[in-house]
Amino acid sequence: MATLKQLRTRVASITNIQRVTNAMYMVAAAKMRRAQEAIESARPYAEQLDLMLRRLQGSIDSDSHPLFQQRPVKRLAVVVVTADRGLCGGFNGNIGRRARLELEDHKNVDIELTTVGRKGRDFLRNRGFDAAHHHADVYHNLSFAHAATIAQQVTVDFVEGRVDRVLLVFSEFRSVANQIPVVQQLLPIVADVPEGGGQAVEDYIFEPNPEQLLEALVPRHVNFQVWSALLATNAGFFAAQMTSMDNATKNAGDLIDELTREMNKERQSSITLELMDIIGGAEAVAH
């Protein structure tokens, strides 16, 4: 059984840990709110970009654009987006396991793996999947330029025929308590055909012509898909860390309460023994 001094040391140590986890919870909560605001700010642009692409696809043969062309998959590119840091529960592990399942499902084709975030790279490397390209410290100063760099790399590989399909694995941010690992096809872009097939119902006049607009908007669409994945994963990481640190703070409080009760029992036992010694000594003197 632990002594009273040992119990006091453990309580002091856990109290210090509780202060750290509580501070990390507050920092994660503040950063998560900013990450949420970034997602909300990007949403109107994404909606308008998707709307414009649908209108263009209804006006021309989008299959003529190289980023829409479907071909047999002989070489697959997989971009896995995770965080650089841990202390976020199973957040990174869930993305890594989803990516591993996707890689194993395509084991009959050549795979070119790209990782964003150290945790995903380490998870997959420890399971025999080495990354051909790796992007670290992206979240230290997250910017659209990072997304454009990643998107340009896979776009060039696809256009030049080095890969036949590009998949994006990341964590979709649905709420503070709900982050779901998803797999999204980045390239070739899947045409959004109107219900019933054929041309879109609306007849638009484009200036400049639809082909020029498509040439300008499609790369932006690819860039923005990667940017959205980075934003969602960043927000999901802070939400998961916030939840994890909140649980750690509560667990530390429960452990402190338990140790305090044990410490009080030990103190009471020590006082009782001292009283018994005093009473025994007084009775011995009296006789």
What residues are annotated to the active site?
88
Task: At 152, list the tokens.
Answer: 């340009």
Q: In terms of DSSP H, where are the helices of the chain? A: 4-57, 91-105, 118-125, 144-159, 210-286
* H or E element, residue 88: none
Q: How far apart are CA 65 and CA 92, in angstroms?
A: 36
From residue 198, give the alpha-carbon distance in Å to each of 44, 57, 106, 194.
27, 10, 33, 7
C-alpha Rg value of the chain to the nearest Å: 29
CA distances from 193 to 100, 155, 242 (A): 31, 23, 41
C-alpha span between 260 and 10 (Å, rounded) = 10
φ, ψ dihedrals at 178, nearest 5°: -140, 105
Task: Tell me if 101 sits within 8 A of 124, measured CB to CB.
Answer: no
